[in-house]
Structure 1
Amino acid sequence: MMSSRIISSVLVDRIQEEPFIKPIDIVKDFKQNYGLDISYHTAWYAKNLAKSEVHGDESSSYSQLVWYRDALMSSNRGSHCVLECDPKTSRFRRLFICYGACIEGFRWCRPLLFIDVTGLESKHKGQLIGATGKNGNQGSFPFAFAIVDLENEENWSWFFENLAKVLTPQGRTITFISDHNKGLTEAVSNMFPTSHHAFCLQHLKQNLLSKYPSTYGKFFRDHIVDLFLKCAYAPTKAAFEVNMRNLKHEGGAPVMTFLEDLPKESWSYAYFKGNRYGEMCNNASESFNSWIFELRALPICQMVDGIRSKLKKMMAEWSRKAEQWCSVLCPMMERTLNERLMVGRNWNVSRCSASVYDVQAEICVKVDLANRLCSCHEWQIKGFPCVHALFAIQKDSSCIHEYTDDHFKSSYFRCSYAFSISPIPDIKNVMHEGSEDVIMPPLTKKRRGRPRTKMPKSVGEV
């Protein structure tokens, strides 16, 4: 029987490529490639030895955070980095990082932040909270992240307290989009009293479906969700109320229970008081979670630097691409507007006054170019001209770019990626002296049963 140490020497290269490889797959590979039978326990222990060989010891990685924080703050001016430990036990509690380049770059992105949390897969577990924006080309703009020992109300308040320290000087009203989480919702209202908080529609759909077991039948359940979506996307309060009456009438008691603690100001177009630019789902955060997926199994210091490295590479890559753009608008926005112009070639557009037009489409809509308004309400909701407005702009012989929000323009995009993230010296070459910097890993309690294969629902979700 081969020992775990010998097996780990074979696995070193494999661990670098596949940090999430399962012990059972290691057992199968050794049987197939070498004709050797090894036990699951041996494969599991060999995998951990190989991980320590590649990435270092997970427990000692927490003590490296003190050096890393100081190196980050000195090499990346304007960054905000906070590290906290339990003063009695010296155990790690939480870490917040927002790079100076992200702070400056976010000024040129839409005032939107998508908030989500994902579990870590390292030995000592923990939760990673991410705040992600969106650039003018509809891509994700990672803004800030934090690693906490637990997802609870105290850590949510701490996270938004640090967000406030970097966002308040910008003087912008931020719209937050997240799942329906009680602790998160309270933290947003406490730390950002003038901001608006929108709930992710995808999460709400799933929660609504959970109110109706499979015995109701797929057709009925889908019909209820469709009625709910009509309420969410209704552009006016009158349309919302009509759809809401239909939803309550056909949904009965389950939908009434679902709507009890769900303020309509947080999920419907018609009643939302802020500007969410048509963003109804927390897709930017999901993109960030996928982006860091392979880093979640690394020791904490290596994981944090891995995120920094990916951010540095991404910002440099987008900066190079943006310099080659010739159009006033970002490519994605220009393509969207061009596609819209192909929809209504035979529409009749007539001028009512200096800046007001009637557009005879499927229905007659009124477009006010001076105030950037359309009676279909899509222009106001999304921040760029709807198809009716585009034809009115053409009739007016005006430039489409002048009526599109600046955040969708190439100049703003280039500014958002004009700042670079500086490298940090290799942690392996740094000698640590003194016991005052020793940080113990957080205590983790092993869950009973089989490990989870799906993300658990956040606190407050059904």
Structure 2
Amino acid sequence: MLLGTTSVAIQNNLIKEVQVLPMVVEGADIDDAIMVDYGSEDDFEDVAIENKIIKDPLHKGIAEHQLYSLKCVDTRCAWCFRSSSLHDSEIFKRMLSQRHATSVTIAKMVKNKYVNLKSTYTPAEIMDDMRNQYGIRMNYKKAYRSREKALEMLRGSPPKSYRKLLVFLYMVNKKNPGSFTTLHKIANGHFLYAFVALSASIRGWKYCMPTVVVDGTFLKSSYAGTMLCATVLNAAGKILPLAYAIVDSENDASWDWSFRKLKQAYGERHNMYIVSDWHDSILKKASNVYPDVPHYNFIYHVWNNVKGRFKRDHERLKPIFFAMANAYTRADFDHLMEDMDNIDDRVRGYQFDVSYEKWSIAHSTVNRSMVMTLNIAGP
């Protein structure tokens, strides 16, 4: 490019003599910009056409008194070229296009931050980094969109992922023969529940302790939902996931469906029992699907309820309660109960209503092991 006071050369094409002032003009390659100004709107149009900035009939010009604008006639094209009069003279000076840091551009810049699944790179941090490193200022909404697009670039979009659910279940069975998978849809054909139990877990079940721990955790995605889990401990005390289900929420219908699929995949075992928190749907549906299987609660959840009801003395009650829960003889249990009565005699009535065998080792009818104090199904 040659710049002078009377002429300028662009891509070996000589523009007629015009006064030249700094201006950005983009050629055939949208990423390459040159600095030039044109003396009049006629010069502006001629140069634009000669250098393939516009091409008839795809692009058209709109002339105004102090503004010359070129834009694509195709409504799907966002291309735009504008030039305005300089101080109401015949000289037009303007940017061909203004470069903006769009959310897509920023997403490409920050997507590597999300390669690690445990990354917590927040929109607020995106705003700070863009301002400090590149001088780009943006609002929170734009930073959030950039984050979502970066995640989509790396992991795909939730709608596309859910459309592949049937393919995923098919591949699970193909690569893991003997697995148990099922999908439940509602009347309009939309996915509602999905259940997966891998063949390795089904084979390993008979070598594990018959203590099935169930729990649920909400999903952080565009469609929300809940994941229900069932886990056990093997002979070495290691966690073995039995199955998981994706459902709409923790409710009677979802737990009933999940327990029935769990029973269908694993059946029942001698001395088997279920451990969970105090969710009403779990308590009701576990007893319906497994009427002969005892159901127990985590000691920690029982304690949270005691703490919530008797807040004033909970610090004094806590060591006594956990000692009672872990006592191996009923004599020790009764002795500790008397100590608790001395602090607040109302606690005895509440614990009796809960039922001692639900949380006390001394009153348990099965060997509950350490899963009573540790939620192995937790997120």
Say yes or no: TM over 0.5: yes
Distance 1:149 1:129 in 2: 10
Q: Deviations over 1:339-366 (max 9, x none)?
A: xxxxxxxxxxxxxxxxxxxxxxxxxxxx
Distance 1:257 1:11 in 2: 57
Amino acid at match of 2:305: N
2:276 to 161, 171, 178: 178
Distance 1:141 1:30 in 2: 44
Q: Does the Cα contact within 8 Å between 2:337 and 2:348 map onto a contact in 1?
A: no
1:64–1:57 CA distance, 2 compared to 1 (3 A) = same
1:21 to 110, 116, 121: 121
1:225 to 315, 318, 322: 318
Residue pairs, 1:53-452, within 5 angstroms: 53-88=153-188, 90-168=189-267, 171-213=269-311, 216=312, 220-253=313-346, 255=347, 258-259=350-351, 261-286=353-378, 289=379
Q: Does the Cα contact within 8 Å between 2:184 and 2:191 map onto a contact in 1?
A: yes
Distance 1:272 1:195 in 2: 13
Q: Deviations over 1:282-306 (max 9, x none)?
A: 33223xx2xxxxxxxxxxxxxxxxx
1:37 to 126, 130, 137: 137
CA drift of 1:257 comes to 6.5
1:282–1:159 CA distance, 2 compared to 1 (3 A) = farther
Partner of 1:398: none
CA drift of 1:130 comes to 1.1
Q: Does the Cα contact within 8 Å between 2:233 and 2:239 map onto a contact in 1?
A: yes
Q: Does the Cα contact within 8 Å between 1:126 and 1:150 map onto a contact in 2?
A: yes
Partner of 1:315: none
Partner of 1:367: none
Amino acid at match of 2:340: L
Pick the structure with more helix per residue.
Answer: 1
CA drift of 1:106 comes to 2.0
Q: Deviations over 1:273-331 (max 9, x none)?
A: 12212432233223xx2xxxxxxxxxxxxxxxxxxxxxxxxxxxxxxxxxxxxxxxxxx
Distance 1:148 1:249 in 2: 46
Larger relative contact order (CA 8 Å, sep ≥ 6): 1
Pick the structure with more strand per residue.
Answer: 2
Larger radius of gyration: 2
CA drift of 1:260 comes to 5.8
Amino acid at match of 1:263: S
Q: Does the Cα contact within 8 Å between 1:114 and 1:177 map onto a contact in 2?
A: yes
Aligned to 2:344, what secondary structure does the other structure show? Answer: helix
CA drift of 1:235 comes to 1.5
CA drift of 1:249 comes to 4.3
Where do 5+ consecutive residues of structure 1 fail to align?
290-462
CA drift of 1:57 comes to 1.7
Where do 5+ consecutive residues of structure 2 fail to align?
1-99
Root-mean-square deviation (CA, aligned residues, Å) is: 2.0
1:206–1:33 CA distance, 2 compared to 1 (3 A) = farther
Distance 1:59 1:260 in 2: 49
Distance 1:196 1:212 in 2: 28
Distance 2:248 2:370 in 1: 34
Q: Does the Cα contact within 8 Å between 1:156 and 1:187 map onto a contact in 2?
A: yes
Amino acid at match of 1:29: D
**TM-score, normalising length: structure 1:** 0.57
Distance 2:348 2:254 in 1: 32
Distance 1:154 1:260 in 2: 30
Partner of 2:152: 52
Amino acid at match of 2:171: A
